[in-house]
Amino acid sequence: MSQERVEVIVVGAGPAGVAAALTLARAGVEVVVLERGAYPGAKNVMGGILYRQPTEELVPGFWREAPLERAIVEQRYLLLTEEDAIGLTYRTPAFGEPPYNAFSVLRAEWDRWFAQQAEAAGALIATEVTVEDVLWEDGRIVGVRAGEQGELAADVVVIADGANSLLAQKAGLARDWRPEEQALVAKELWRLPAEEIERRFNVPSGQGVAIEAFGAATGGLLGYGFLYTNRDTLSIGTGALLSELIEHEVNVSDLLDRFKRHPAIAPLLDGAELVEYSAHLIPEGGWRALPTLFTDGALVVGDAAGFVNPLSREGSNFAMISGKLAAETILEARALGDFSAHALSRYWEKLEKSFVLQDLETIRDVMPFVRARPYLLRDYPAAFAHSLRHYLTVDSTPKAQKYRAIVETLLAELGPSRLLRDAAALVFRLAR
Amino acid sequence: MKIAALVKQVPDPNAVRFDPRLGELVPGIQHVVNEYDLYALEAALRLREQVGGEVVVASVGPARDALNRGLAMGADRAVAIEGEGLPGDAWVTATVLAAWLRRERPDVVWCGQETSDSGTGSVGPAVAALLELPLVSNVVGWEFRDGRFEIEREIEDGHQFQEVEPPVVLCALSALPQPRLPTLRGIMDARRKPVERLAPTELDLGPDALVPLVRWEGLRQPVAKAAGVVVQDVPPDEAVERLLAFLEARGLLG
Amino acid sequence: MAGTGILVVVETSAGVPRPTALELFGAARAIGDALGPVTALVVGRSVAAAADQVARLGADRVLVADAEEFAEPVAARMARAVAAAWETAQPTLVFLPGTTLGRDVAAVVAAQRGVPHLVDVVMLELTDEEIVAIRPVYQSKLLTTVRASRARPAVVTVRAGSFRPPEPAEPAARVEPLTVTLSDADRRVRVTRTVEKPRGQVDLESAPVVVVGGRGIGEPEGFAQLAELAELLGGALGCTRAVSDLGWRPHYEQIGQTGKQVRPKLYLGVGVSGAVQHTVGMQGSETIVVINRDPNAPLVKMADFALVADWTEIVPRLIARLRERRGRAG
């Protein structure tokens, strides 16, 4: 019996897989995307942030027709203690005008729209296909097996099956994941009328706010809380390293409940109605946890490759760009008729030249840095909050005396050498 | 044996949400194949596997994905009947399907008991009426032997067994065997199978035949209930007394 | 306007009218007398008593199709009976119960005549030009208004529990036999046997009280207590899909998206968390009472009265108290 074959199989219809399929289909390559869900985005009910520039590398002018929620014009960073909040806000009208900077999106809609672009370009997207293994022949990968749904052969397989990629492991490219390389994120979607969101967040129609919060947002665990405004919903969530959750015996949904109750957050959700809840793992291992990214007949892209910047939550950027670079590599390999590891190694070179690997390298020591200093997200917010409260409380104390008291508070709570050491170490690592 | 399987695409029932501002469903909900229709399709394929012949999967209104799914599962060909205003109401859908079925003359018509959107459950019975075919609805089991179906139905009184010979219209419930997932071969094959596109005029249906008899007008949410009483951390005896008092106050203890 | 008056089709089971069919007279009354006479059609075998009962529910005339051929519910045969009554009564509206048979028959007769069919109606109104009804859609998650022109007669199936059957009143209407001639075509579908539900059980969809057990019951044996509780409350026992999928209870007791739709006066959920799959089948219930260990279960939030407790602590006590009450009363 002859085996069905196509030129390229992409496993997973998330942003990375679809970016690869879109790029290949446009170049006239016969490509099939095998997706486990009922449709692309079916498993992604939640919201996220989509950046304009990398997305335009795939679909120029996408923002004119894609299902986008709001253009993000304001970014707020919050450092939380149990009750207090210290904030830094950046807002610019420029982000609210074409060509924009970033958008909030509902993943279910965005993923589906993006997949439709690939279909329109000629890719076949087959849903409810669960790929369980790769097919081998003479030590190279020659296709995939989907249990009782059978086998499909291809010149090359693009592994885009998301975090903790089963297929990357089966392909011998990734080892089993470790709890300290994974963050568990609990997310909720709350409905609130669009006009109320605009009033509450002080934005015009079509524009929105992204909030990222640290410190008590995660009960001091290594992680973050976030809140994005969608058209008539709010995405809110907290994430923390799995290893920390295990160690402190904390449930991530309890963290989220606490975050929602924080006095700086609760009024934003007031009167909203819960629509969805979900929890999922995202890779946070960064540079140090990267799998081997290519082998004879296969490439790994997106979350499956662990392309997430733990500092800036730019997973979908990394995913789309890595998918595009993988596709470009395949096109070159196809021109040569050579899909060996050697030919596919151009993928690595392309990644090195792009922000994907450069960013991961820049921050590769930050996670261990923070992990080695668990007090950063516990003691620092408290010390700063105490100082600011003291400074801002008008009580007839002369200012000079206040400054002195603040310095004393910081030194007492944090220790003088620790402060200096931490600041120096961080600057050194980021600027290297 | 020629077997027709009728399918419809419906908004994903798991994603259906109401937008109070628009007074409609939130925009952009993905459409999926109506669940009961997949069970009908599976039954059609099993019947063909038993007796031979062909399975034709057909739909009225936009249904590219549903027809592709049918072909990938193993249907031999697909028929897409598309035109302005289709699928219309149950009457229009049934009229169009009946016009097509008169031409195809299948031995068995399988359809889902009802759809998850409008959920009238009328299309199967109406098609049977228009074609003057026997109807067996609420099918939860079947056997075909010696040219005759023995069919198990689920009704209010329990399980009813009926006998009937083809041609017949059968309406499937989800207690039938699970629909198969398409194989990779099936998915690839589907691209090479014939899909016939028909306009109502090709079935000799003019605009008069396509006027809905029943019109929908907007959606709304059932009135939300006020938050109720929650009794927690109360000793069981007291809790039971409070429950009885509540039921008594509402006149629910006869 | 086509025709005059209302034809109410009374489906029977073992000679007894289905409770839902009696509610149709409440619907007929709600529409008012302006439409003209109400004709009842009672279909079944040995239905003389049923016809007498129906004659006191506000009908002006009762037609009886009493024959061996109507002993078992078969859509084509009942449709023939409705067609015969239609010829006799020339109605402007035809009401059928929202049962499996009623819905099939309504769809068949409406299609045969090319007239509107309003399905699963919970509220009904007439304007000069239109019939306006409210019905649930999207698996009962939402409501919609449906409209049909009154230029033609219309067929209406009424959702169980939407209208109250009227109190019986004298004088009784005239009862007359209706001759129905079945064709060979009507006999193509034959009923070979029916495996009935255990006797004495109240029909789930029309029961005033529904006691539902979920996976939280923990074991199939626990349902014996719920059955007793249902019996004491004058209701029926139902279950969630998880329970019927586990084989703890039969599929026909399942309530929800893929099971039955209920809207009883009292819904009592025990160990039911309230997945959407289930709640779409019961959210029309008048009063919702929940016994569940988990205070965050979605059904607790829907409840009029929620008891956060282990059901094994509550149900036996509740049964004992209800038995006491019954002892006093009887």
Residue with more model confidence, C194 or A312: C194
B91 touches chain C (CB under 8 A): yes
Spatial CB neighbours of C48, under 8 Å, sequence gap ≥ 6: C64, C66
- Once rounded to an integer, what is the mean pLDDT over residues A205-229? 89
Q: Which residues of C67-91 are buried (b: 16+ CB within 10 A; e: fewer)?
A: bebbbbbbbbbbbbbbbbbbebbeb
Print pLDDT tens along chain C (330 aa).
467 899 999 999 999 999 889 999 999 988 876 788 999 999 999 999 999 999 999 899 999 999 999 998 999 999 999 999 999 999 999 999 999 999 999 999 999 999 999 999 989 999 989 999 999 898 777 889 999 999 999 999 998 878 888 999 988 999 999 999 999 999 999 999 988 766 556 678 878 899 999 999 999 999 999 999 999 998 999 999 889 888 899 888 999 877 788 888 899 999 998 887 788 788 878 899 999 988 878 888 888 899 989 999 999 999 999 998 887 764
Give the residue ranges of DSSP H helices in A27-106: 52-56
A361 touches chain B (CB under 8 A): no
Q: Could you report the per-residue pLDDT of B165-200, keeping only the tens digit for each?
A: 999 999 999 889 999 999 999 999 999 999 999 999
Spatial CB neighbours of C315, under 8 Å, sequence gap ≥ 6: C225, C226, C229, C270, C291
Is C99 in Cβ contact with B156 (below 8 Å)?
yes
Interface test with A, best of B184, B191, B221 (most A CBs within 10 A): B184
Predicted local distance difference test score (pLDDT) of residue A241: 82
Is B218 in Cβ contact with C144 (below 8 Å)?
yes
Residue C234: how many CB atoms within 10 A of its CB? 14
Residue B59: how many CB atoms within 10 A of its CB? 28
Identify all chain C residues contacting B90, using CB atoms and an 8 Å cutoff.
Answer: 107, 117, 119
A31 touches chain B (CB under 8 A): no
Spatial CB neighbours of C231, under 8 Å, sequence gap ≥ 6: none
- Once rounded to an integer, what is the mean pLDDT over residues A210-215? 92
A424 touches chain B (CB under 8 A): no
Q: In angstroms, rounded to a whole number, what is the distance separating the alpha carbons of residues A353 and A87?
A: 35
Is C195 in Cβ contact with B135 (below 8 Å)?
no
In this complex, the residue of B218, B237, B254 whose CB is nearest that of residue C317 is B237
* pLDDT tops 90 at residue A301: yes
Number of domains within chain B: 1
Instruction: For the full predicted model, state whether its pTM sits above 0.80.
Output: yes
Residue A348: pLDDT band (50, 70, 90) is very high
Average the pLDDT over each of A79-93, A212-226, B91-105 and give the range with the smallest value.
A212-226
Residue A2: pLDDT band (50, 70, 90) is low
Please, which residues 234-253 of chain C have a Cβ atom closer than 8 Å to chain B? 234, 251-252
Cβ contact C95:C112 at 8 Å? no
Identify all chain B residues contacting A129, using CB atoms and an 8 Å cutoff.
Answer: 181-182, 184, 187
* pLDDT tops 80 at residue A281: no
Residue with more model confidence, A398 or C150: C150
Q: Could you report the per-residue pLDDT of B29-48, keeping only the tens digit for each?
A: 889 999 999 999 999 999 99
Most confident listed range (A247-251, B17-21, B203-207, B225-229): B203-207
Kindly list the domain boundaries of chain C, sorted by start residue: 6-177, 204-329
* Domain-located, residue B243: no
Predicted local distance difference test score (pLDDT) of residue A284: 72
**Mean pLDDT, rounded, of chain A:** 87
Predicted local distance difference test score (pLDDT) of residue C330: 47
* pLDDT tops 80 at residue A175: no
A351 touches chain B (CB under 8 A): no
DSSP string, C217-250: G-SGGGHHHHHHHHHHTT-EEEE-HHHHHTTSS-
Is B126 in Cβ contact with C111 (below 8 Å)?
yes
Most confident listed range (A363-367, B96-100, C4-8): B96-100
Q: How far is CA A251 from CA A202, A245, C298, in A?
A: 33, 7, 20
ipTM computed for the complex: 0.89
* pLDDT tops 70 at residue B52: yes
Q: In angstroms, rounded to a whole number, what is the distance separating the alpha carbons of residues C229 and C224?
A: 9
Is B181 in Cβ contact with A148 (below 8 Å)?
yes
Spatial CB neighbours of A226, under 8 Å, sequence gap ≥ 6: A210, A211, A212, A213, A235, A236, A237, A238, A239, A313
With helix as H, strand as E and coil as C, how does A136-182 read?
Answer: EECCEEEEEECHHHCEEEEEEEEECCCCCCHHHHHCCCCCCCCHHHE
Q: What are the start-end ranges of the E strands in A216-306?
A: 223-229, 233-241, 273-283, 294-295, 298-300
CA distance B20 to chain A (A): 9
CA angle A186, A191, A197 (to 5 degrees): 110
- Once rounded to an integer, what is the mean pLDDT over residues B6-21? 86
DSSP SS3 for A353 = helix
- % of residues, chain B, pLDDT over 90: 70
* Domain-located, residue B121: yes
Q: In angstroms, rounded to a whole number, what is the distance separating the alpha carbons of residues C158 and C180?
A: 24
Any idea what the CATH number is for the domain that residue B38 is in? Answer: 3.40.50.620
* Domain-located, residue B186: yes
Give the residue ranges of DSSP H helices in C98-140: 100-113
Statement: A180-283 belongs to CATH 3.30.9.90? yes
Instruction: Classify domain C6-177 by CATH architecture.
Output: 3-Layer(aba) Sandwich (3.40)
Q: Could you report the per-residue pLDDT of B71-86, keeping only the tens digit for each?
A: 999 999 999 999 988 9
Cβ contact B36:B113 at 8 Å? yes
Instruction: State the angle between helix axes of A15-26 and A107-120 in degrees (0 to 180), rounded to the nearest 10.
Output: 20
Q: For residue C319, which phi and psi values (nearest 5 degrees)?
A: -60, -45
In this complex, the residue of C72, C109, C117 whose CB is nearest that of residue B214 is C117
Q: In angstroms, rounded to a whole number, what is the distance separating the alpha carbons of residues C289 and C141?
A: 20
Predicted local distance difference test score (pLDDT) of residue C325: 84
- Total CB pairs under 8 A between chain B and C: 249
- Once rounded to an integer, what is the mean pLDDT over residues B96-116? 97
The CATH class that applies to domain A4-69+105-175+291-366 reads: alpha beta
Spatial CB neighbours of A400, under 8 Å, sequence gap ≥ 6: none
* Domain-located, residue B12: yes
Q: What are the start-end ranges of the E strands in C14-168?
A: 16-17, 38-44, 61-66, 93-97, 117-121, 123-126, 130-137, 142-149, 154-158
Cβ contact A21:A118 at 8 Å? yes
Cβ contact B136:B152 at 8 Å? no
Take residue C84 and report the two structure tokens written for it. Answer: 């015969």
Is A42 in Cβ contact with B184 (below 8 Å)?
no
Q: How far is CA C191 from CA B1, B140, B148, B151, C194, in A?
A: 24, 15, 13, 9, 8
CA distance C306 to chain B (A): 5
Closest residue of chain B to A32, computed from CA coordinates: B188
Q: Could you report the per-residue pLDDT of B118-165, keeping only the tens digit for each?
A: 889 999 999 999 999 999 999 999 999 999 999 999 888 788 999 999
In this complex, the residue of C141, C192, C302 whose CB is nearest that of residue B163 is C192
Identify all chain A residues contacting B21, using CB atoms and an 8 Å cutoff.
Answer: 193-194, 232
Please, which residues 92-151 of chain B have a Cβ atom closer than 8 Å to chain C? 94, 116-130, 132, 134-138, 140, 150
In this complex, the residue of C251, C257, C288 whose CB is nearest that of residue B154 is C251
Q: In angstroms, rounded to a whole number, what is the distance separating the alpha carbons of residues B118 and B104?
A: 27
Domain holding B68, by residue range, is: 2-202
Spatial CB neighbours of B207, under 8 Å, sequence gap ≥ 6: none
A158 touches chain B (CB under 8 A): no
In this complex, the residue of C144, C251, C252 whose CB is nearest that of residue B217 is C144
Element (H, E) at A31: strand A31-34
Amino acid residing at B163: E
Predicted local distance difference test score (pLDDT) of residue A244: 83
* Domain-located, residue B97: yes
CATH fold of C204-329 reads Rossmann fold (3.40.50)
